[in-house]
Structures are given as structure tokens and as C-alpha cells.
Amino acid sequence: MSRLPGCPLCDGIGGVLVARTPHLRVIRAVEDAAFPAFYRVVWDDHVPEFSQLSPTQRQHCMDAVVLVEEALRRHLRPHKVNLAALGNSVPHLHWHVIARHPWDSHFPAPVWSAAQRQAPADALQAVAGALPALEHELAQAIGRLADLHPSL
């Protein structure tokens, strides 16, 4: 595996480990209480740009992103799912997959803009309560994904 010493996504998991394949991991971000359903698909190797993956690696990566998005849609019925691979501060390929609701602190603005309101505690709690079942199902789906690309 290609690692860069000092990179936080090479040196650590980066959040709560939800699932993994031999090439990537799905983690739940824990640094922002306003977004309990904030997941990341992290490519294990230290690769900065999505276009640096091979076509098969890209497909494996986006298959995982789609599984996370589908799990969010099925369990949380969000108004929208946001996907982003930015990496300006941590240039190690990771996809943000975030469930967005009209009541959340930033909607309709991106989560990286200024907060517009405080999210209601009961709505946040309802999302958090749905995560164990969501993550259980997601771990199974990602596990099946690991068998899909044996040539990877």
C-alpha cells in the first residue's frame, strides 16, 4: 500500500470505521455534531486526484460512494445527498457523502459555507437513531462490493 507519512488519512482511519474493501474504507465523520449522517469513502492508497485511479479503481470507488448514497436515501429520506472530493487540506482521495435536510444548519448552502440556523435537536436525534441500522446494512453491501472487482 502506498502511504505518505504525516498524511492524516495514511496515519489513521479518519473517523468511525463503518465498512471496508481491500482498497477503500467507509467512515463516519465525527467532527461535526450538526451533521450526524456525514460519511466518507476513503481510498486506502495515498492518491491525491480521482483521475489518478485506473478506470476499474474509479468504478470500485464510485460503486462504494453510490452504496453510501443509497443507504442514506433509504434510511433517512434526505432532501438531497451531497457528494464531494475536495482534498485541498488533505490531498488524499476521500469522498464526502452527506445527507442534507431543509432543517439542517446550512441548507440549502453547502456544509462548508456559513451556518444559517441551529438544527433542531429532535431532528438531529432522529437521524442519529437511524444510523445503526443504516450502517449495518451498508457494511453488508460494501462487503459484497469487495467481491465484485477481483482483478483490482
Q: Which residues bind a second copy (CB under 8 A)?
A: 48-51, 58-59, 62, 65-66, 69-70, 73, 79-89, 91, 100, 107-110, 112-114
| Long-range pairs, 65-70, Cβ under 8 A, ≥24 | 65/41, 65/95, 65/97, 67/138, 67/141, 67/142, 67/145, 68/26, 68/39, 68/41, 68/97, 68/138, 69/97, 70/141
Pick 108 or 129: Cβ nearer a second copy = 108
Pick the closer one to a second copy by CB: 2 or 88. Answer: 88
Least CB distance from residue 49 to a second copy, whole Å? 6
The number of residues making up the chain comes to: 152
Residue 58 C-beta: closest distance to a second copy, Å: 6
Q: What is the smallest separation between the CB atom of 118 and a second copy, expressed in angstroms?
A: 18
Complex with a second copy: residue 79 or 129, whichever CB lies closer: 79
Helix, strand, or coil (residue 100)? strand
